[in-house]
């Protein structure tokens, strides 16, 4: 199972594929986007579509705790994580889970072969896929038991 399976599921659903903000946007503007789209992280893209950074709700909460609410008027570039772990549509879901577990984050931008942002997948997308897989397996097993 690869990231492509998750992307197909998401694209048949609602909403934009990846919510982005400019690095010059304020943290407050980014926080509004998180609330508006009910998501946990926004990606900051470069002019060429590459990934420049990621800003998650955790970054915002941590910086408010460290320096206070004034951080909300700072530019996103001062708070975002710059060293972003990405994946491609061909990455396996197991590999994505390993990267999330190892890096202790819940979001991974998906990039194409030119490193341009395609989408973002969250741990919620991965868990949803797993639950569906387990349910499918259980149904198959039940059918097998009833017919044998
Ligand atoms: P999260 O669990 O995704 O809310 O993020 C926890 C921390 O990891 C925050 O500091 C994020 O900026 C950072 N982070 C989130 N996703 C990634 C990623 N794919 N690569 C590197 N850092 C990330």
Q: How confident is the model at residue 148 (pLDDT cuts 50, 70, 90)?
A: confident
Q: Give the number of the atom of ligand 1 that is nearest the alpha carbon of residue 57.
A: 4
Q: How far apart are CA 82 and CA 142, in angstroms?
A: 48
Instruction: Read off the pLDDT of residues 73-116 as tens digits, 9 standing for 90 and up.
Output: 999 999 999 999 999 999 999 999 999 999 999 999 999 999 99
Q: How far apart are CA 64 and CA 108, in angstroms?
A: 24
10 lines ligand 1 (CB under 6 A): no
Q: Report pLDDT for 110.
A: 97
Instruction: Read off the pLDDT of residues 130-146 as tens digits, 9 standing for 90 and up.
Output: 898 899 999 999 999 98
Q: Report pLDDT for 11.
A: 74
Residues 106 and 127 sit within 8 Å (Cβ to Cβ):
no
- Within 10 angstroms of residue 112's Cβ, the number of other Cβ atoms is 12
123 lines ligand 1 (CB under 6 A): no
Q: Would you call 36 exposed, middle or buried from its count of C-beta atoms within 10 A (0-12, 13-18, 19+)?
A: exposed
* C-alpha of residue 12 to centroid of ligand 1, in Å: 26
Instruction: Read off the pLDDT of residues 33-54 as tens digits, 9 standing for 90 and up.
Output: 999 999 999 999 999 999 999 9
Q: How far apart are CA 33 and CA 10, in angstroms?
A: 19
- Within 10 angstroms of residue 63's Cβ, the number of other Cβ atoms is 19
Q: Report pLDDT for 12.
A: 65
- Within 10 angstroms of residue 121's Cβ, the number of other Cβ atoms is 25
* C-alpha of residue 9 to centroid of ligand 1, in Å: 23
């Amino acid at each position: 199972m690869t990231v492509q399976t998750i992307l197909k599921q998401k694209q048949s659903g609602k909403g934009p594929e990846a919510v982005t903000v400019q690095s010059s946007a304020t943290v407050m503007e980014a926080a509004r986007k998180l609330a508006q789209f009910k998501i946990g992280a926004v990606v900051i893209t470069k002019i060429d579509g590459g990934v420049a950074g990621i800003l998650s709700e955790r970054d915002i909460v941590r910086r408010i705790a460290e320096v206070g609410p004034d951080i909300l008027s700072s530019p996103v570039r001062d708070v975002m994580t710059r060293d972003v772990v990405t994946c491609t549509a061909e990455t396996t879901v197991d590999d994505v889970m390993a990267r999330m577990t190892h890096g202790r984050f819940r979001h991974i931008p998906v990039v194409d072969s030119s490193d341009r942002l395609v989408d973002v997948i969250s741990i919620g997308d991965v868990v949803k896929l797993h639950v569906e897989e387990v349910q499918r397996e259980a149904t198959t097993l039940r059918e097998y038991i009833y017919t044998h």
